Amino acid sequence: MLLQGCLGTKQVAATAWSDWLSQVRDPRSVFEKDLTGLKGLLPFIRHSLETNGIKVSDEFRVYLQVSSVREELRSNIYRKILAGTLLALRSAHCDVIALRAAALSETVYEKESIRHNHAIELLVQPSHMQNAVNALRQLPFQRQEHQRAWQRDLHPYIHETGLPLVLHTRLLLLPYYPVNLS
């Protein structure tokens, strides 16, 4: 129901939101107790509620506003790091394709801070990987170790701010679905 409340329009969203509220009673406590990352949806929920003209309690409205301001600040930091990373990679003649949050927040959402971004993920041609590694040495990223053997096509880094960066050399991690990146 929460998803319908976020993605639906006007009456569908209003009905779903009302049904969800009747089940949970206190939406703020749901988000504060959640350990699964549901809080990252708060700016999106606020946007959806406002877009659809759905009224909420003053307390929850303020809670949504605060979460949106926080996400706006996070988004500014994320976008600054992303821009610097893309510039460094471009300067090193690395062709990259933005994946996941880096692509979605700038293209699908009306405002980039509506999308909570956990990491920068970029697809790099295997032949450009050494150039990418060299470029990242000039930035405040530290190389991380692979966690599992199936992750051999992932090259994880962590920025000094704690923001993860993952360079992918394959679009799909499943080895039996090769994709030509040329």
Domains defined along the chain, listed by start: 2-56 (no CATH), 77-168 (3.30.460.40)
Question: What single-letter amino acid sits at 41?
Answer: L
pLDDT for 151 equals 64
pLDDT for 136 equals 95
For the chain, what percent of residues have pLDDT higher than 70? 91
Between 178 and 28, where is the model more confident?
A: 28
Predicted confidence band of residue 181 (pLDDT cuts 50, 70, 90)? low
The DSSP annotation for 30-47 comes to HHHH--SSGGGGHHHHHH
- Is the model's pTM score more than 0.75? yes
Between 109 and 138, where is the model more confident?
A: 138
* pLDDT tens per residue across span 40-63: 889 989 998 999 999 999 999 999
Question: What single-letter amino acid sits at 92?
Answer: A
Between 139 and 3, where is the model more confident?
A: 139
Q: Are 112 and 105 in contact (CB under 8 A)?
A: yes
Predicted confidence band of residue 162 (pLDDT cuts 50, 70, 90)? very high
Q: DSSP code of 161?
A: T
Per the listing, tokens 């993952």 go with 166
- Mean per-residue pLDDT, 13-26: 90
* pLDDT tens per residue across span 64-121: 999 999 999 999 999 999 999 999 999 999 999 999 888 887 787 777 777 778 899 9
